[in-house]
Every structure is written in structure tokens, then in C-alpha cells.
Chains A and B, each alone.
Chain A
Amino acid sequence: MTTIRARRRSPYPSWFYLPAALVYGVLFLVPTFASFYFSLTRWTIFDSHFIGFENFVNFFREPALVSGLTNTLIYAVVTSGLKVVLGLLLAVLLTSQIIGRGYLRSVVFFPVLVSTIGVGLTFTVLMNPERGLINESLAAIGVQGPGWLTDPDLALLSVALVDVWKGVGLATLIYIAGIVSIPQEYFEAARVDGAGATASFFRIVLPLARPATVTVVILSLIGGLRSFDLIWAMTRGGPGFTSDVIASVIYKQYQAGFYGLSTAGNVILFLVVTAVILPLYWFLTRKEVEL
């Protein structure tokens, strides 16, 4: 039979790749490679002048743009850190014997599916400093709430909190899948050996849910570094430039007609993402093998 197979053409033809390769190549790979060239030009879509690294020099000379870079990192670290911690705690809670487990899982997960713009606009209203529900509730218990989105020191973190509100459901689900796959005997054995809930959390759940942690960290970092729509819906990078991230800088420069500079922002975002994700992925998965 193998000889017949060998004489025939493969039943798995290469041309099956072709349509996908065409779309992906033309609309994703070509622009990605082109971005490296165009980031070195002064560019008006129709013609481009090669100007070397001037765009990058401008980018790093402009404090507003540099703060976009640091804000991106802060935003990504804060959101993924909170998603890991809260996601793990919620997953432990939602895999325990608790009343209303199905309801709780649904309610935590549903915001993941809701339009980011809708969530952003809703929380912009809820976070209104004078009349918003959050500060009204705080006032009712005698606390004066801050100007969540109007205070320059707080705006970025407020948006990050809403991001966590919307995204923690996915992290929770990934952790639940990880925890459920841990054999029940481990917990029973630990109980027989006299381990309490805390011990079995730190000695069993935490190490064995490691693949889930890797996934949550990687996914939320990728999402956090590229994040645009929530920030745009809530603050548009303001007040001033205090909640600008690279993705919103790219959009603003594009709107202003600085296509070269905008593309340089894109290249910087590409470099940041790969510089963060690749080493982290390598580090996290290598440790996993050793376990």
C-alpha cells in the first residue's frame, strides 16, 4: 500500500495553504515587513523620503511619546498582574463547593464578550467625579472618591482597572480548566497527610496550575501591550498625555498625517512586544519542563 501511496500525489496538497497564505501574506506579512522600511521615511502614502532614524529620534525626544511607551509597560504589567492574582483566586473559589457556582462563573465571564467601547463608555459615566455612581457610593460611606479619569496620576490605572473588570473572566476560565485537570487524589493524599486548605493551595494548586499561569500571563501581556480601544473610549489618552499608550500614539500620529512617525510607533510596539513576550515565554516554559 505504501508503494501505491508513494506513486500517487500526496493526499494533503500544498495548494490548500494557498488561499490563506495569500490573504495572510498580503495583508499581514507584507505590511509588517514594509513597516520597517516606512518607519525610516517621511511618508504621505503616495511617496516617501528616506530619512534614516529621524522618526525614532523624534519619538524618543518628545516627552509625550516617551510617556506613551512607559504607560504601555505600566498598563500591561498592572492588568496582567491583577488578572493572574484575581483570576487564580476566583478560579479556586469557583471550583470549590459553593452555592451559585454556575451563576458566578457566567457573571464573571460575560463582560469578556461585551463590546469594549460599550464597557468603556459605561465606566466613564460610572467614574464621573461628581455624579458618578462609584463616587456617590463612596460618599455615602463618608469617603471622598478621587477623579478617576480626570486625575493625571490616576487615569491610566483607572482604565487598567476597567480592563481587569472586563478581562478577568477569561483568566478565571483558563485557571478553572487548569485546576479541574489536577487529579483529585493529590488533594485527598494531602488531606490525609494533614495539609490544610492553605497548604494544598500553595503546594498543589499553584505549582500544578503553572501552564495556566503561563497562558494567562502571555495572553494578558499581549493584550495589554496592544491595548487601544478601552483607553480610547475612556480618556483618549488624556488628561494631557498621561494615559497615552503606544497604540493611541500610533492613531494620533496617523490622524495628524505623520505616517512615517506613526509607523515608527508601530515598529517600536513590535519590538516591545517581542522583547517582552519571547524571553518570558522561553523562561516560563523552560521552568515548566524542569518541574
Chain B
Amino acid sequence: MTGRRNYWLSGVAILLSIVVFLVPFAFIVLTAVKSRQQAALLDFSWPENFQIVRNFVDVVEARDYMLIIAFINSTILTVSSVAIMVVLAAMVAYVLQRRKSRWNVLINFLVLSGLIIPPAVVPTIWVLQKLGLFRTMPGLILVEVAFGISFAILLFRAFIATIPRELDEAAIIDGASPFRLFFRVIFPLLRSVAITVIVVQSVTVFNDFVNPLYFLPGDQNATVQLTLYNFSSQFTSQYNLLFMNILLITIPPLIMFLFFNRRIVSGMTSGAIKG
């Protein structure tokens, strides 16, 4: 009895998943390879002629290779901010987890605040301006670090709690300095959780729209999300190019998803369950 019901339920679920989740993605792909005239119809149809290469070249060449610049900028932003975030967050999480002190309450409170409190936009611009970092890539990188570090600390702390303290003690008896103890003994053990943090935060930073919009405006520094947004107002008549752009910036997260599915899932849920 249950067997038959499961077949029926499975069929409905798969059908619904296709309509609700796959059709929008199919729509993106199909529209991205259509000719300009056909794409303008906005309908869900098979392309009359495939213009994959031409649309790709058109999008890339648009506005003096803006998309290439944007991809370079987004890569620099993502790689540097996530690298800094991982090292700094691991250091904080390590000391926070290992050392019991009366400051821990305050530090835990600050970490949670970073997850909950919406950042104050214009005052952040004001601080960046005072530091000479407004409208600069280093400024935006540091902003991403500041806004994303709380989540990374929580993930690292939960993992460090599972590393036995005896390991620290053995290294200390062997004469390791605190610096060596952390970077030579502990940090290599964090590999698996570090990969999770890297993957989750890379996707977040790469997809971030708000912070580049506020802190790094201007065409020279555009990130991929900003370029896509600007595209949408400029190329209202060229839907094929717009969707080619959407398709291109969906590929990096898709690759992350295909390779690190498990990591992403465990990172997003484990961090969440404890919070």
C-alpha cells in the first residue's frame, strides 16, 4: 500500500519541482541563446536559431569589456575578503573557545550582534572616508570581512570545540610558542571547516549587491552584481544579452554547488542549528 502511494507522491513532487524550480532556470538558458527579436517576446519557447557564441561575445564586449573587468573585480573582492575572514575568524574562535575569561560573554554578544544588527550604511561611508578607503577595493574588502566574520567565527568555534586540548598541551610541552601552536598545529586541523567557511562565504560575497552598491560605486570598480543591475536598465530591449549575463554570473555558484554540495549544506545548517 505504502509503495503505491510513494510512487504517486514522487511523481507529483518531481512534476511540481520541474514546473516551480527548473522552468525558471530553463527560461534563463533558453532566452540567453535566442536572437534579439525572439528574446523580446519573453515567451518560453525553443530558440529558432542558437546564438550562443554571438550573445556571449556581445555581452562580454558591451561597454568596453565591462563584464571582464567586473569578473576580475569580483574575484579579487571574493578571494581577498574570504582569505582574510578565514584567518581572523579562526584566530578569534580558537582563543574564544579555549580560554575561559569574563570577557567571553561580551565577545559572544558582539559576535551575535554582527549576525543580527543591520549595518549602518552612511556612518560606514563616513568612517571609510575618514580612512581614505571610500570607493576603494581595499575598503570594500574590509567591509565584507567586518560584516561576514561573525558567521565564520561561529562555525570555527563549534569545530574547535571538538579538537582535544591534550594536543595543545603536548605542543606546549614540546616548547611551541602560541603563534606556532596555532598556525602549525591547530590551523591545519581546521581544514574541513575552513573549506565550508570558504565555500559559503565566497558564494555570499560573490552574490553581494548591497555593499558594492554603497561602498564601491562607479563603473571602474563595478562588481558582477552591479554590472548585471546596470545592464537591466540599459538593455531593456536586449533580453537575450541580459539573460546571457544572468547565466554567466550563475555559473560560479553552480560550480561551487556541484563540487561542494555537502560542505555548503553542512555549513549552512550546522551554523544555523546552534545559533
Contacts and interface: CB of A to CB of B under 8 A. Distances in A.
Interface of A: 5, 8-14, 16-17, 19-21, 23-24, 26-32, 34-35, 38, 43, 45, 93, 96-100, 103-104, 106-118, 121-123, 125-126, 128, 131-133, 136, 165, 170, 173-174, 176-178, 211-212, 215, 218-219, 222, 225-226, 228-229, 232-233, 247, 250-251, 254, 259, 262-263, 266-267, 269-270, 273-274, 277
Nearest to B89: A20
B146 A23 contact: yes
Interface stretch (B14-22, B50-58, B63-71, B190-198): B14-22
A262 to B, nearest CB: 5
Contact of A20 (B147, B149, B225, B275): B149
A211 B273 contact: yes
B91 A177 contact: no
Contact of B257 (A30, A103, A113, A174): A113
A158 B6 CA distance: 32
A24 B107 CA distance: 12
A9 to B, nearest CB: 8
B24 A24 contact: no
A118 B246 contact: yes
A26 to B, nearest CB: 6
A106 B95 contact: no
Nearest to A181: B273
B118 A12 contact: no
Contacts of A35: 120, 122-123
A112 B264 CA distance: 11
Interface in B158-207: 168, 172, 178, 181-182, 203, 206-207
B42 A125 contact: yes
Contact of A27 (B94, B146, B228): B146
Interface in B1-53: 2, 6-7, 9-10, 13-14, 17, 20-24, 27-28, 31, 41-44
B228 A11 contact: no
Provide the main secondary structure of the chain B interface: helix
Contact of B268 (A8, A10, A173, A226): A173
B62 interface: no
B145 to A, nearest CB: 5
Nearest to B226: A117
B210 interface: yes
A32 B117 contact: yes
A19 B206 CA distance: 23
A117 B225 contact: yes
Given A121-B232, A126-B24, A99 B10 contact: yes
Q: Which 8 A-B pairs have the closest CB atoms?
A: A35-B120, A31-B123, A99-B10, A27-B146, A20-B88, A12-B99, A34-B123, A113-B253
Interface in B139-157: 142-143, 145-147, 149, 153
B265 interface: yes
A136 B43 contact: yes
A215 B272 contact: yes
B182 A16 contact: yes
Contacts of B27: 122, 125-126, 133
B42 A113 contact: no
Contacts of B127: 26-27, 30-31, 34
Contacts of B142: 23, 27
Given A12-B94, A24-B146, A232-B209, 20 more contacts: A12-B178, A19-B91, A23-B88, A28-B146, A99-B14, A103-B14, A107-B22, A109-B265, A110-B21, A113-B253, A114-B250, A115-B246, A122-B27, A174-B268, A174-B273, A218-B275, A225-B118, A263-B121, A270-B120, A274-B116
B129 interface: yes
Contacts of B99: 10, 12
A135 to B, nearest CB: 11
Contact of B242 (A121, A174, A218): A121
A65 B225 CA distance: 27
B69 to A, nearest CB: 17
A233 B229 contact: yes
Choose among B28, B41, B168 the residue with the greatest number of A CB atoms under 10 Å from its CB.
Answer: B28
B150 to A, nearest CB: 8
A29 B111 CA distance: 11
Contact of A117 (B21, B126, B203, B229): B229
